[in-house]
Amino acid sequence: MSSSPTWPLFEKTPTVAFLDVDGTLLAHTTSYMFARILAKRGMLRRSVLLRAVFYGFQHRLGRLDYGRLIEGGLDCLRHIPLVELERIAYENFAEFVKPRLFEGVVDHLNELRQKGTSIVLVSSSPGFVIEPLGLYLGCKGTITTPVIIEKGRLAERGEGPPCYGDGKLYWVERWLEPYGVSLDDCVAYADNWSDRALLKKAGQAVVVNPKGRLLRLARERGWFIARPRRPLKTRRKG
């Protein structure tokens, strides 16, 4: 497939579409927008937002220690009841996430689902943060780093690798096992170099607004390169 400003049309309909979220479905970071709400309400130290900017820079360079990031995030959120975090996550989705979805992505996923493709989000963001988006998109599931809940609060990270980098491939393969579906029959969507393990293993791959190493890899492998635009209102805001 060649570069196009639109989303792909598949000759062979994929059984499952595994989608990264941040940078792939929207040009922003869901967890950062969520953290801004917490900081504004005095539930999170503003210094955490500064660290988040630093982690974002490491992510773009492919040097992020995501396990360390998760531990730090859990330390900051353990004092907040999970039900409150979930409620704020829905506010975050309605006010910040939904208006920033790339143009055409909802229609594209609706068309895939109507053809029989199951839609699954695969994200390094906490599960409760992306759950509202998963419901809105009609997803069959969401794959994130497991977290243990104790007494209605976040306690610690569960077993297995973080859902980041090679960990995304690990959890996708685990998700597919009960269904007896091969990753060869699936498509993966992503935007970052850290997602290359999953992109390489999937039968089809879509990279969104890639740059540098990921762009070169996509061209070498003939992956579909999507270049969707942000919604008009968010483009005006810059």
**Type and span of the H or E element at 216:** helix 212-221
How does strand 153-157 pair with strand 147-150? Answer: antiparallel
Q: Which phi and psi (to 5°) does residue 226 adopt?
A: -100, 135
- Identify the segments of the chain with pLDDT beneath 50: 1-5, 54, 57, 238
Per the CB < 8 A criterion, the answer to whether 19 and 120 are in contact is yes
User: Would you state the pLDDT for residue 3?
Assistant: 41
User: Would you state the pLDDT for residue 183?
Assistant: 98
Helix (H, G, I), strand (E, B) or coil at 4: strand
Domains and CATH numbers, the chain: 16-237 (3.40.50.1000)
User: Would you state the pLDDT for residue 21?
Assistant: 97
User: Would you state the pLDDT for residue 237?
Assistant: 52
User: Would you state the pLDDT for residue 60?
Assistant: 57
User: Would you state the pLDDT for residue 105?
Assistant: 97
User: Would you state the pLDDT for residue 138?
Assistant: 97
User: Would you state the pLDDT for residue 157?
Assistant: 83
User: Would you state the pLDDT for residue 2?
Assistant: 41
Spacing of C-alpha 168 from chain mean position = 10
Q: Whole-angstrom Cα distance, residue 80 to residue 133?
A: 21
User: Would you state the pLDDT for residue 46?
Assistant: 63
User: Would you state the pLDDT for residue 45?
Assistant: 67
